Amino acid sequence: MLSQQHAIPSAIRVLDALPTLQTPDPIEAQERISQLFCPHTLRPLSSRGTVKLNLRSTGTGFGVHLLDYGTAVRISPGALETFFMVQVPLAGSAQLHSSGSVVESTPTVASIPPIDDDFSMTWQAGTPQLIVTAPRELLNNAASALYGAKLEAPLKLAKSMNIDTPEGQSFMRAVFEYHDVVNTQGAAQTPYARRLHEELVLARWLMAAKSNFSAALAQWEAPVEETRSSPLVMAFTDLLEIHSEEDLSVGDLAEALGVSIRTLQVALAKELGSTPSQMLREARLVHAHALLTDADPRTDSVTSIAERCGFGHLGRFAQSYRRHFGFPPSQTLRGSSR
């Protein structure tokens, strides 16, 4: 499925030979996902309070999964403790919050939740994610084999993985080679062959993700360096999540935070490599996607929804929407993107 040059496939194609679990009920979605991964709370962020869950999975333990909530949600688990997880958005964006840091996850940046610390996640609407899971002991054993030594300290992974690097592309190719094995019904694969694919995924994962053991082929005890978000940046992202649908300017948001626009610009550029205007525009795109998803094409139009979300120029809105989600707003309104 994945060519030599990295390409993100459509969510429709991921594990398409396996059964799909669908539900609009957030309580059922929370229960089913908790059974598969770990206990957590799920809070839809749309006005309707519902989800449009699509889940395809190879099951517990080592495996790959396709998970899409169909709308913006906040997910709050405890520490994973028993397994590692890497999440790759196939479209859209998501945020991983833990220990004062924020990882902005996109199709080019995967997120890796911490295994021993509590965390929370915000998945924006239109963000189906490819998830790879591995039991803690399994990845620890793979690290021991890769680095040629027994690990004397717990394995710690950085909270993000750059998919656009050669190592990231190798990881994705290994994942989809394994995917093609488990997704082919009636494939004549021996347990030994399947295990070889698993081992390749684990090795490529460790080579693509920074860890406290990746500096050399020997152990080292320096913790993984992580960028911590300031209280100002975290407060700004929280404001966007709550108020993006309101007719607010960057100046209004800066005033609510008690800082100048320049101070806000400097903080966002330094910590997230973005600007207040860009982040406000992206938040409004996410809100537009949610409205288009819930809209009735017989009575609503792309133009009216774009205007409700603060976009005065339909052409630029359509271009920005396609660039962010990978398909035009009219496709979401028709329902064929779901």
Phi and psi at residue 289, to the nearest 5°: -60, -40
Confidence check: pLDDT of 88 > 90: yes
Phi and psi at residue 264, to the nearest 5°: -65, -40
All structural domains of the chain with their residue ranges: 11-208, 231-334
Half-sphere exposure of 187 (CA within 13 A, CB side): 14
**CA angle, 160 as apex, 199 and 202 as ends, to 5°?**
5
- 220 or 327: whose pLDDT is higher? 327
Locate the DSSP E strands across the chain.
21-23, 40-44, 53-57, 63-68, 73-77, 83-89, 94-98, 101-105, 109-111, 120-123, 129-135, 160-162
231-334 and 11-208 share a CATH fold? no
Query: Which among 14, 10, 110, 134 has a CA at the least distance from the CA of 65?
Result: 14
264-323 confidence digits (pLDDT tens): 888 888 877 788 888 888 888 888 888 888 888 888 899 888 888 888 788 888 888 888
User: Coil, strand or helix: which one is 28?
Assistant: helix
CA distances from 125 to 52, 89, 269, 332 (A): 10, 11, 24, 11
Burial class (CB in 10 A: 0-12, 13-18, 19+), 3: exposed
Instruction: Give the distance, in angstroms, between the CA of residue 232 and the centroid of all CA atoms in the same chain.
Output: 23
Half-sphere exposure of 41 (CA within 13 A, CB side): 6
252 near 238, Cβ under 8 Å? no
CATH class, range 231-334: mainly alpha
185 near 253, Cβ under 8 Å? no
9-54 confidence digits (pLDDT tens): 788 889 999 999 999 999 999 999 999 999 999 999 887 889 999 9
pLDDT of residue 4: 43
The pTM score is 0.69
Fold classification of 11-208 (topology level): Jelly Rolls (2.60.120)
The pair of structure tokens assigned to 113 is: 């939740």
Query: Which among 111, 87, 213 has a CA at the least distance from the CA of 160?
Result: 111
d(CA 3, CA 172): 10
Q: Which residue has the tokens 């064929």?
A: 336
128-147 confidence digits (pLDDT tens): 999 999 999 999 988 888 77
